[in-house]
Chain A
Amino acid sequence: MTTETLTNYWVAVGQVEDIPRQGARVVATPMGDVALFRTLRDEVFALDDRCPHKGGPLSAGIVHGRSVTCPLHNWVIDLASGEALAPDRGCVRRIPVRIEHGGVLLDLSGRRRS
């Protein structure tokens, strides 16, 4: 039952193992790239692959704790909230993500509407 509901909104994009630990992978969507991050403790987060500062590809940054550092100018973005770490200010859009049996599912519906 749950699965049926999910297939309506959630898109399977790959396995957690396909994302390197402390690393990222990119999902190309018609609306732009989504960065998938996997932390040391195997939490998975999804954000727009654009830093709120100058649009740098966050997926290319160093992942540490629950943060990623943008490769262009070292802004540190909180993966859970999408917020830039003080003193920098800005927010990246989060994409809902869930893990089912090791698979990564993204809810891209929000992106489509926007």
Chain B
Amino acid sequence: MNMQAYERKRLVVVGNGMAGMRTVEEVLARAPDRFRITVFGAEPHPNYDRIMLSPLLAGEKRFEDIVINRLDWYEANGIELVAGERVVHVDREARLVAGEHGTVRPYDVLLLATGSDPFVIPVPGTDLAGVVTFRDVADVETMLEAAHRGGRAIVIGGGLLGLEAANGLARNGMEVTVVHLVPTLMERQLDPTAGAMLAADLERRGIHVLTAADTEALLGEDRVRAVRLKDGRELPADLVVMAVGIRPNAALARSIGLECRRGVVVDDGMRTSDPRIFAVGECVEHRGVTYGLVAPIWDMTKVCADRLTGAAESVFAAAVSGTRLKVTGIDMYSAGDFVGGAGSEEVVFRDPARGVYKRLVLREERLVGVVLYGDARDGGWYLDLLRRGEPLGELRDLAIFGEAVATAAQGSGAPADPAAALAALPAEAEICGCNGVCKGKVLNAIEAQGLKTLDAVRAHTKASASCGSCTPKVEGLLKLALGTGYTAPEGEKPMCRCTGLGHDRVRREIVERGLKSIPAVMAELGWTTPDGCHICRPALNFYLLCAWPGEYRDDAQSRFVNERMHANIQKDGTYSVVPRMWGGLTNAHELRAIADVVEKHRIPTVKVTGGQRIDLLGVRREQLPEVWRDLNAAGLVSGHAYGKALRTVKTCVGSEWCRFGTQDSTAMGIALERMAWGSWHPHKVKLAVSGCPRNCAEATIKDFGVVAVESGWELHVAGNGGIKVRVTDLLCKVATKEEVLEHCGAFLQLYREEARYLERTAHWVERVGIDHVRRRIVADEAGRKALHERFLHAQRFAQTDPWAERASAVTRRAETPAAEPFRTLVPAE
């Protein structure tokens, strides 16, 4: 080794994980030129956010999304990364580190950040194929492969890690059972009540939960086939995930003679028993305690960096931190001593209908613990109260109702408005719980460094850089500091003036955080207005409807008038009514009924539409229910001619009558319409089926057009006859009717899930590219089937005739006049 080559001290880091790299970042922030740095990592990846393995497994994030430091970051900072090489020995005498493939590096200071290993319970069969832990990207890959084959998964361990694994596997289509040793799920974070609510919620999502279940053995020859419990039950399994916990990985430290107990023993300055060797993260034991949550570990990295660079003589003292379960749609939070016991009091709030449970544990008038289930948005606020440790005083009676109520009662402004609430926070209020960043620090950084974007704030302060749940707050602060100078990240335009977030981002957050109502979206994502506007509300209503079919309750007040009234408003305030004519077919009975309705209600104009239906124009609002009832009586239903919905399916007469027809286009049109009617979309959707390439149904200017050819059906997408005519792109050719239906359902679902509200298929496809659509619909058969399946699932809740619903409601009201006390109050819908 050429010792003259470097004057700077050599820092070698063992472990390319979150703790090790954060320490390096902290060191660079304090003294960029102090060290020449080498990092050894056992995994062949750049450094990634282990907290995000759960969303990675659940398919909500990709690996690129969870990388913290890309390879060019190492390069830019002059850091040598030795990835994919485990360190096998450290010669403390000669101060040399040796990797398994022969890489040797000298050090002046050594930092151990070897993390933890998953704990594998000592039962027979853990070495069988199909048994995995949940610790790194490789584990996730193994699980995804198994999930791809389908079948049954048993997750052993009902703690944070186990439940996130179970959720991810269930999301990937496996039948999942969680086996947990003790009677309460997540007993280290939840009390029995919240644990039981969680178990019920998981069961509702199709995850089976067995508590008080002790695993005796894993059974199988080469591959695991079942889990046997001590009570004799055998649970069939194609995959077993061990997620009972972690233990510090102190093997290296132990082998080189450092003092170790459960973990590597460190002092308050993160120094091991060898003064040249430091340790941080899950591998350490500090004052008898080991750590697995991110917040205290970030505190360690700061102390360690202070000591390594000599910037300060800071000491590590563990602070209380909170826990959230990263299972989409399950909202829980806990912090502190939630068990209580002698000398403590409890305040409990229950709202079973909403599935909300909150429990505060107080000791001597101070908050010492909190459990929130079903509504955890105030977690950060409680944690703040808890850390301050001051007597609650007047807050005591109201704290259980959450920040908004408690602070409003104290007369501190208008906290229902999230922007005002953020502005009212004191400078020392915590914004990012993971990284311990307070409001003042974020604002100072924005001002001093001239930061303009979320990414820049993340880079400078680390706020919102770990679990991301405080992102809206950080963006709120950016907005507060920069006013209109702040624009949302990713170049995506904000949805409207109520938020800085764009459509795609909002949709992602709805799914990832399991937001299930418009108020929840607005509260969680930091809307600046109390109830949005005419632009965002209809969009949110659709996004929620699309994300949670059968679960989300449609909000009529967030619908444009046409969709609220199920008719199309005209310039004079009257409405037009268009009954559905399946595939453009009608008959004498229907036509007679329509004629009768026109005469009876004196409807001024009857018009044949471009979509092969009949439009009744000039119907007054109060006439609508009667008109619907009369049309319903003849079997006619709403044609959704007014909605961001499936409109018409236009057809030609096809082979049944036409001498050129090659296929029965009318029957195909009816089949498509039967499948797709009632579906809501980002914008209107029109279909057409032509029976031969002469294309009389004009299928090539429709959102989804089908053209029959001798050998089958050509499928065309994203056409548009409007201000700017756009001819469709050819998606593919298929042979059978079933394939047409499957491709159509999948295409419509992809459009529903990916397009922005009010974006027609033509604009959406131009934005994402037809190749993307072909990849998802044509090339990926499993993906297409899954999309089609999701479409049909959503349709189970969408296919009710809105006219019938409303006409019968009117009938009921007429029969019981007492229910309508004020004649002067005409319903506006």
Contacts and interface: CB of A to CB of B under 8 A. Distances in A.
A24 B533 contact: no
A27 B534 contact: no
A14 B534 contact: no
A57 B573 contact: yes
A64 B828 contact: no
A14 B820 CA distance: 10
Nearest to B518: A22
Nearest to A18: B825
B565 interface: yes
B571 A61 contact: no
A48 to B, nearest CB: 13
A101 interface: no
A59 B828 contact: yes
B531 A25 contact: no
B538 interface: yes
Contacts of B224: none
A13 B824 CA distance: 6
Interface string B554-574: 001111111011000101110
B485 interface: no
Interface in B518-569: 529-534, 537-538, 556-562, 564-565, 569
B824 A74 contact: no
A36 B826 CA distance: 10
Contact of B826 (A23, A27, A39, A65): A27
B826 A26 contact: yes
Task: Identify the interface centre among B532, B558, B562, B828: most chain A CB within 10 Å of its CB.
Answer: B828
Contacts of A24: 828
Given A15-B821, A64-B537, A76-B534, A71 B569 contact: yes
A34 to B, nearest CB: 9
A41 B560 CA distance: 21
A63 B573 CA distance: 18
A64 B105 CA distance: 65
B569 A40 contact: no
Given A20-B556, A71-B561, A71-B569, A64 B825 contact: no
Given A22-B557, A61-B561, A27 B571 contact: no
A61 B533 CA distance: 11
Nearest to B519: A40
B122 interface: no
Contacts of A61: 534, 561
A23 B827 CA distance: 10
B569 A65 contact: no
Given A15-B821, A69-B533, A60 B828 contact: yes
Contacts of A72: 569, 571
A64 B573 contact: no
A65 B529 CA distance: 7
Nearest to B555: A22
B822 interface: yes
A61 B571 CA distance: 14
A22 B824 contact: no
Contact of A23 (B530, B557, B573, B821): B557
B665 to A, nearest CB: 37
A62 B556 CA distance: 10
Contacts of B532: 64
A23 B534 contact: no
Interface string A9-50: 000111100111111111111000001100111000000000
B557 A25 contact: no
Nearest to A54: B571
B558 A40 contact: no
A50 B571 CA distance: 12
A62 B557 contact: yes
Interface string A73-114: 010100000000000000000000000000000000000000
Contact of A65 (B531, B556, B558, B560): B531
B427 to A, nearest CB: 29
B557 A21 contact: yes
Given A26-B828, A63-B557, A71-B561, A56 B534 contact: no
B558 A62 contact: yes
Contacts of A15: 821-822
Nearest to B557: A22
Nearest to B562: A71
B569 A64 contact: no
Interface residues of B, number: 30
Contact of A13 (B571, B621, B822): B822
B828 A65 contact: no
B573 A13 contact: no
Contacts of A74: 534
Nearest to A62: B534
A71 to B, nearest CB: 4
Contact of A14 (B565, B572, B824): B824
A14 B561 contact: no
A16 B498 CA distance: 27
A12 B821 CA distance: 11
A9 B821 CA distance: 21
B788 to A, nearest CB: 33
A28 B828 CA distance: 11
B414 to A, nearest CB: 10
A5 to B, nearest CB: 22
Interface string B44-67: 000000000000000000000000
A25 B534 contact: no
A21 B557 CA distance: 8
B828 A23 contact: yes
A73 B521 CA distance: 27
A27 B824 contact: yes
A72 B575 CA distance: 12
Contacts of B556: 20, 23
Contacts of B531: 22, 39-40, 64-65
A68 B35 CA distance: 62
Contacts of B827: 25-26
Contacts of B558: 22, 62
A64 B536 CA distance: 10
A59 B533 CA distance: 15
A63 B785 CA distance: 40
B495 to A, nearest CB: 13
A56 B573 contact: yes
A41 B530 contact: yes
Contacts of A18: 821-822, 825
Nearest to B574: A57
Given A14-B825, A25-B827, A65 B533 contact: yes
B530 A40 contact: yes
A101 to B, nearest CB: 14
B537 A60 contact: no
A59 B560 CA distance: 12
A74 B529 CA distance: 18
Contacts of A27: 824-826
Contacts of B530: 40-41, 65
Contacts of A28: 824, 826
Contacts of A59: 828
Interface string B598-615: 000000000000000000
Contacts of B562: 71
Contacts of B533: 62, 64-65, 67, 69, 76
Contacts of B565: 60
A21 B826 CA distance: 16
Interface string B341-359: 0000000000000000000
Contacts of B559: 62
A45 B537 CA distance: 21
A28 B827 CA distance: 10
Given A25-B825, A57-B573, A57-B828, 6 more contacts: A12-B822, A14-B825, A23-B829, A60-B561, A61-B561, A62-B533
20 contacts: A12-B822, A15-B822, A18-B825, A22-B557, A26-B825, A26-B828, A27-B826, A29-B824, A57-B569, A57-B828, A60-B561, A60-B565, A60-B828, A61-B534, A62-B534, A62-B558, A63-B557, A64-B532, A72-B569, A76-B534
Closest 3 CB pairs of A and B: A69-B534, A14-B822, A22-B557
